[in-house]
């Protein structure tokens, strides 16, 4: 699995050959520095660890500083692992947007926006009660019955109720890569991706 770490810049739209407006997301992808090569002999599996976005040493712990110094680079704010895609790669090497080709499809992984504690109408799409007459008072957006009283006398597992929404890892599959801009380390993918502006993303081929 060949991939790269990126940061969501925002959304825009571009026009295709037919003059149709296509919504897309701008992602700053890389350059990522290879910080560690994991091997079966030492770690039990093969992987390439990469870091993205430099941070000051004063904001990093001593073990982190030592780990990144082995690769000859500054501490990174985001680190991710990818399957071994190149046997010749070594710590300190840079991976850029040149690994992508315009027109191919990618998967994007990110953390969705946190919504906090939400009710069943927003969280699960409940319709609520339409009638506001015949004694209806303040139950327009209530969930309704949660189950039987005499049996099972408890709330069943999986019952759709109010609760925390968002802030979960989401993977969007098969987004078309509309444009690659190597000089600015930018890629444009069709449609929306998880997360807010400035959030980190994993882009996989």
pLDDT digits (tens, 9 = 90+) for 69-114: 998 899 999 999 998 877 788 898 999 999 999 999 999 999 999 9
Cα–Cα dist 55/193, whole Å = 25
Cα–Cα dist 33/55, whole Å = 13
| CA 47-3-181 angle, 5° bins | 150
Cα–Cα dist 26/45, whole Å = 33
Residues 6+ apart with CB under 8 A from 113: 166, 167, 194, 195, 196
pLDDT at 61: 92
Domain that holds residue 120: 3-131+159-204
User: How many of the other CB atoms lie within 10 Å of CB of 199?
Assistant: 15
pLDDT at 198: 94
Q: Is residue 168 within 8 Å of 109, Cβ to Cβ?
A: no
pTM of the model: 0.83
- Domain with residue 115: its CATH number is 2.40.30.10
Q: Examine residue 196 and state whether it is found in any structural domain, yes or no.
A: yes
Q: Examine residue 83 and state whether it is found in any structural domain, yes or no.
A: yes
Cα–Cα dist 94/110, whole Å = 22
User: How many of the other CB atoms lie within 10 Å of CB of 105?
Assistant: 12
Q: Is the peptide bond before 31 cis (omega within 30 degrees of 0)?
A: yes
Q: Examine residue 88 and state whether it is found in any structural domain, yes or no.
A: yes
H helix or E strand, kind and range, residue 24: strand 21-29
Q: Examine residue 46 and state whether it is found in any structural domain, yes or no.
A: yes
Which CA distances in Å does 41 have to 37, 66, 71, 88, 102? 11, 22, 19, 17, 37
Q: Examine residue 113 and state whether it is found in any structural domain, yes or no.
A: yes
Question: Which tokens belong to 132?
Answer: 């506001």
Q: Examine residue 171 and state whether it is found in any structural domain, yes or no.
A: yes
The residue length of the chain stands at 205
H helix or E strand, kind and range, residue 62: helix 62-70
pLDDT at 130: 65
Q: Examine residue 38 and state whether it is found in any structural domain, yes or no.
A: yes
With a cut of 50, list the residues of the chain below it in pLDDT. Answer: none
User: How many of the other CB atoms lie within 10 Å of CB of 98?
Assistant: 13
pLDDT at 85: 78
Cα–Cα dist 39/99, whole Å = 23
pLDDT at 142: 86
Q: Examine residue 143 and state whether it is found in any structural domain, yes or no.
A: no
H helix or E strand, kind and range, residue 124: helix 120-124
pLDDT at 173: 96
**Count of domains in the chain?**
1
pLDDT at 26: 97
């Amino acid at each position: 699995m060949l991939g790269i770490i990126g940061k969501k810049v925002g959304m825009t739209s571009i026009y295709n050959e037919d003059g149709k407006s296509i919504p897309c997301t701008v992602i700053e992808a890389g350059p990522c520095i290879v910080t560690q090569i994991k091997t079966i002999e030492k770690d039990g599996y093969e992987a390439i660890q990469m870091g993205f976005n430099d941070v000051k040493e004063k904001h990093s712990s001593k073990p982190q500083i030592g780990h990144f110094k082995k690769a000859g680079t500054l501490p990174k704010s985001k680190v991710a692992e990818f399957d071994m895609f190149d046997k010749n790669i070594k710590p300190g090497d840079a991976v850029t947007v040149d690994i992508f080709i315009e027109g191919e499809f990618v998967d994007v992984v990110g953390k969705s926006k946190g919504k906090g504690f939400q009710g069943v109408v927003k969280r699960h799409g409940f319709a609520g009660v339409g009638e506001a007459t015949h004694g209806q008072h303040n139950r327009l957006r209530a969930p309704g019955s949660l189950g039987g009283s005499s049996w099972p006398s408890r709330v069943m597992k999986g019952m759709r109720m109010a609760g925390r929404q968002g802030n979960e890892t989401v993977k969007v599959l098969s987004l078309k890569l509309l444009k690659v801009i190597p000089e600015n380390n930018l890629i444009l993918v069709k449609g929306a991706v998880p997360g807010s502006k400035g959030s980190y993303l994993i882009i996989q081929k």
